[in-house]
């Protein structure tokens, strides 16, 4: 599957350039280390508007297809409410695109 474009609110355009599947990082609680076996899908999206360009990363579980809370913008956690709305719009646009593609949507992007 090739990289694709998604339409976002306020005249922004998103380019989904990477889709990888991996295992979640282990969780450490004091001296106990819980190893996760759950696979997640990581999407890398370049969001462009008239004067700005940002890189977002959003995550989804592979088995259930549920989006994980939060996102990353330029390597940092999303904290501002406007950016949370944008990451929500990104997730909805990716879901719409993948529903149209059917089984092809589950391939990784390289």
The total domain count for the chain is 1
Q: Quote the mean pLDDT of the chain.
A: 81
Q: What phi and psi values does residue 22 have, to the nearest 5 degrees? A: -155, -175
Tell me the per-residue pLDDT of 68-83, one tens digit each, with 9 for 90 and over. 888 888 877 877 777 7
Quick one: pLDDT band at residue 110, thresholds 50, 70, 90? very low
The answer to whether 39 and 23 are in contact (CB under 8 A) is yes
* β-bridge mates for residue 4, sequence order: 16
The three-state secondary structure class of 81 is: helix
Instruction: Tell me how far apart the alpha carbons of residues 21 and 81 are, in angstroms, rounded to a whole number.
Output: 28
Host domain of residue 102: 4-106
Cα–Cα–Cα angle for 27, 80, 86, rounded to 5 degrees: 90
- Indicate whether this model's pTM tops 0.85: no
């Amino acid at each position: 599957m090739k990289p694709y474009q998604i339409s976002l609110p306020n005249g922004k355009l998103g380019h989904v350039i990477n889709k990888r599947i991996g295992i979640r990082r282990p969780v450490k609680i004091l001296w106990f280390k819980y190893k996760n076996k759950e696979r997640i899908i990581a999407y890398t999206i370049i969001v462009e508007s008239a004067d700005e360009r940002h890189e977002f990363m959003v995550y989804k579980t592979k088995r259930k297809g549920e989006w994980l809370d939060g996102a990353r913008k330029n390597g940092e956690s999303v904290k501002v409410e406007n950016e949370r709305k944008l990451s929500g719009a990104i997730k909805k646009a990716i879901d719409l695109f993948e529903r149209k593609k059917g089984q092809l949507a589950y391939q990784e992007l390289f």
